[in-house]
Amino acid sequence: QVQLVESGGGSVQVGGSLRLSCAASGDTYFYNSMGWFRQAPGEEREGVATIYLDGGSTAYGDSVKGRFTISQDNAKNTVYLLMNSLKPEDTAKYYCAADRISYGLGASRLLDPGLFDYWGQGTQVTVSS
């Protein structure tokens, strides 16, 4: 019902920037929130940034606060992740996710990947020193 396609990953040096895009298609009834998650080899998937699409309430993982910004373009059904001041520990595969989740949970609770049913294929981000 919902298809997500990520783009914008790549290789960058420490301190550099990248902007990831996630284009959603399908019935918008099935999602009111979207998020970015990442997973490094041997690690669990962790929440990076999330957003409720109605109102724009956002939340960020502690490790990216002040460096990453999530934003939306409703006209394009697209969510972006601007990543600044990248560090080697940001190296991971980044996934976009979407679902319909109660507003009562609050954006910070959306950092739990278990809340999302719709996932993209991921895009690799590699930060080298």
pLDDT, residue 62, reads 97
pLDDT, residue 53, reads 92
Amino acid at 94: Y
Cα→Cα distances 49→17, 29, 96, 108, Å: 16, 22, 10, 9
Average pLDDT, the chain: 95
Q: For the segment 95-112, what is each residue's pLDDT rounded down to a tens digit?
A: 999 999 988 888 888 999
Backbone angles phi, psi at 120, to 5 degrees: -85, 180
Q: For the segment 67-82, what is each residue's pLDDT rounded down to a tens digit?
A: 999 999 988 899 999 9
Task: Look at residue 89 and tell me whether its pLDDT is greater than 90.
Answer: yes
47: exposed, middle or buried (Cβ count in 10 Å: 0-12, 13-18, 19+): buried
